[in-house]
A and B are shown apart, each in its own frame.
Chain A
């Protein structure tokens, strides 16, 4: 009892001294197989904009989810103002004045902006009646003070994502009276204009003595808007620094960290690499443009070559792959397969020409999850062989067994629904499906996303050893190390443009990461 009291007093003093509004103490989160966060300490002060930056998988989202009450930490304490919590629930977080705005805005699409702003309470009186005059008046007042130039009557679904997010932020900042607002990679889809407006309202919010936790991939944003920055790497806090003591380059090197350990891992994989000469050009992309996503994209892909496409979220990497395989139609530019100019109508047409795409979202776009492993593995092959009307079941069974063996997929039976497999095995099924159709151009969109180390390694090995013998590969990954392991060239995308190309001799995680932040050498 005494201990508790002392702790409480100590905490109180701490708050009084530093003006701290939220403090995390030794927060650890363990998932089966991985440690997502390890002993993280963090303090957010009143009236502070606190940036959090790190690579994918560094633990940013886990941290955010713990603060906003979506998940409970395995160990550690959370202090909000004077109260100590083992974990928060979303309700408690809300009551303590913590709100969150995420990358995919949580809106009610068919409500107007006003209705979304005042949802769910609508400032209703106790008998549940809504006074619309009052609400409209308040909304108008808010709009005038914030210089918010969107019609309040328009439906939420008519707005672009960026503006939907701005509406949600206005709600969190000025209507919900939140003490701490977490902005989780909100600016990914923002134009320059949106961003300027966003920073304006963030500063206004700050001037009212309230705090913001700003999560981002982008160093330039963090440097512009934040007071303090905390850098995360591999589930651990690296350090918290004042923003004035940092620049883009020093942030990049803090994010990437020490390279020595990684080199070893790298060598294991690449020692077989001898200087290759690529001769046969199989794909030429010339000035490809998709309005709003990317422009001036030009490169050549040779047989046997693996090109990595590195870029932050929203840099256009997925869209480029999807355009090459015909999911999107480019606004200008041309594609050549071999020496023949070609216009790809849809993925079916692309497959006919030997191009196949492995989607980033494997559950939604990659698998037919209620169908069996066998049917999934053979789908693209069947889609491609238009002439073969009948299926040779014996041959199909043999092929299925070969693929399961080769890809090392763990299943009870080839007739099992893919729904019930683990993430790594699902991805191997998708990859197996692609391999079976024997294309010459492979577009792999984050094939290692969300996989554990073992599965990741075996997927990369398959790409390197099997796919590259059959044709050319374009691969994206959130992890630069993965690309450095297998790629013969890495293109760096920033805001929809290729701003840099790295060859293996220049591979260096820090440089590539720095480049992804938008700086040429």
Chain B
């Protein structure tokens, strides 16, 4: 394959980053107060909460399913964690509240995964019921909010490190790079994506597909709990409304990042790009003083654009590769003659 073709393919596969770059460039020139250190940190900080949730949703999508319950898990898991540390077992070390939060998230994922992969409940209905159940429980357990959280509990979401960079940004990047590594370099990541692409074929090829799907939901739940931990840290409180209506935005981020709703498609860097793009758009539209409701509508419009672009991108990619194949076959014929 010649270099030209390689570059073309590379650009197509990383289109969201190109779009993001161009968009940032335009905004830096035309939008005042956009391109400065404080604002960029602000965008990254706000993207970190949603970003981890987008990753949670993307994992479920890439495994060929989806998870509506993550936005309730986002409130429920830290809720239980903090109740353990402050009310139920006040004498326990506060670090356990963090561990409990993540375990609760994993537990919810495990339950979803087992019901979907083994009992074969439709993922929409399964996670929809969890979405409602968990939100109801949160509203019951935490009538309004719990504030004055232990210091260690708010460290990840509320503190700042070197150069005034919020810890949450590091957390987001660490998680994304960890998953990038998993999907690029590990056996698990590879058979995960294959299962999402075609469950039947992967099963026959010798993959333990049930286990993969359960693990996808466990990861999704754990990441949602992690996101909840950061959100609680940011506001120094666990409220019962945390994460409401976020799940639809996670679909937006995932689709912008090139994840397919039918599974098996998507890259971690793409997902990160999609999330950051959502964050930048949100920030810019607020800076220019657009009504919040129009900002919301714009995000919806972005999903639509993303899908249309994706269609054309796939077609174009296919065409240039097909042309290459034809050329090769011709060359082969000539060499035979």
Contacts and interface: CB of A to CB of B under 8 A. Distances in A.
B208 interface: yes
Given A346-B208, A369-B198, A391 B322 contact: no
A371 interface: yes
B185 A375 contact: no
Contact of B260 (A350, A370, A433): A370
A437 interface: yes
Interface in A359-390: 359, 364-371, 375, 378-380, 382-386, 388-390
A368 B265 CA distance: 11
A367 B198 contact: yes
A417 B197 CA distance: 11
Interface in B235-289: 260, 264-265
A413 B329 CA distance: 13
Contacts of B318: 417, 420
A437 B206 contact: yes
Interface in B176-213: 184-188, 190-191, 193-194, 197-198, 200-208
A504 B222 CA distance: 61
A433 B190 CA distance: 14
Please indicate which of the listed interface residues A325, A347, A356 has the most CB atoms of chain B within 10 Å of its own CB.
A347
Contact of B207 (A348, A370, A371, A421): A348
B204 A327 contact: yes
B18 interface: no
Nearest to B264: A370
A365 B187 contact: no
A365 B200 contact: yes
Nearest to B199: A368
B305 interface: no
B324 interface: yes
A382 B321 contact: no
B93 interface: no
A379 B200 contact: no
A382 B190 contact: yes
Nearest to A371: B197
B104 to A, nearest CB: 27
Given A364-B200, A389-B188, A390-B187, A411 B325 contact: yes
Interface in B140-188: 184-188
B208 A348 contact: yes
Contacts of B184: 393
A58 to B, nearest CB: 29
A383 B140 CA distance: 45
B337 interface: no
B118 interface: no
Please indicate which of the listed interface residues B1, B193, B197, B205 has the most CB atoms of chain A within 10 Å of its own CB.
B205
B201 A367 contact: yes
Contacts of B198: 364, 367-370
A514 interface: no
A375 B193 contact: yes
B325 A383 contact: no
A356 B9 contact: no
A367 B194 CA distance: 9
Contact of A420 (B187, B197, B260, B321): B321
Contact of B206 (A359, A375, A380): A380
B87 interface: no
B332 interface: yes
B205 A379 contact: yes
A375 B190 contact: yes
A368 to B, nearest CB: 4
A139 B66 CA distance: 44
A412 B205 contact: no
A348 B206 contact: yes
B154 to A, nearest CB: 35
Contacts of A350: 206
B38 interface: no
Nearest to B209: A348
Contacts of A416: 321, 325
Contact of A347 (B1, B205, B325): B205
Please indicate which of the listed interface residues B184, B194, B200 has the most CB atoms of chain A within 10 Å of its own CB.
B194
A351 interface: yes
Nearest to B181: A390
B194 A375 contact: yes
A413 B185 contact: no
Contacts of A382: 187, 190-191
Nearest to A425: B325
B203 A420 contact: no
A385 B1 contact: no
B328 interface: yes
Contacts of A379: 190-191, 194, 202, 205, 207
Interface in A143-167: none
Contacts of A417: 318
Contacts of A194: none
Contacts of B9: 413, 415
B197 A413 contact: no
Nearest to A376: B194
A410 interface: yes
B329 A410 contact: yes
A362 to B, nearest CB: 9
A173 interface: no
Contact of A410 (B188, B205, B332): B332
Contacts of A364: 198, 200-201
A368 B202 contact: yes
Contacts of B201: 359, 364-368
A322 to B, nearest CB: 9
B206 A384 contact: yes
A357 interface: yes
B205 A383 contact: yes
A391 B200 contact: no
B82 to A, nearest CB: 35
Given A367-B201, A379-B194, A385 B187 contact: yes
Nearest to A356: B206
A357 B187 CA distance: 21
A356 B201 CA distance: 12
Interface in B206-240: 206-208
Contacts of B186: 389-391
Interface of B: 1, 5, 9, 184-188, 190-191, 193-194, 197-198, 200-208, 260, 264-265, 318, 321-322, 324-325, 328-329, 332
16 contacts: A347-B204, A364-B198, A367-B198, A367-B201, A368-B201, A370-B197, A370-B265, A371-B194, A375-B194, A378-B190, A382-B190, A383-B202, A413-B9, A413-B324, A420-B318, A420-B325
The 10 A-B pairs of least Cβ separation, nearest first, read A351-B206, A412-B324, A368-B197, A383-B206, A412-B321, A348-B208, A368-B198, A383-B207, A413-B1, A382-B187
Interface of A: 325, 327, 346-348, 350-352, 356-357, 359, 364-371, 375, 378-380, 382-386, 388-391, 393, 410-413, 415-417, 420-421, 433, 437
Given A364-B200, A368-B197, A413-B321, 13 more contacts: A359-B204, A370-B264, A371-B194, A379-B207, A380-B205, A390-B187, A391-B186, A412-B5, A412-B324, A412-B325, A413-B1, A420-B321, A433-B205
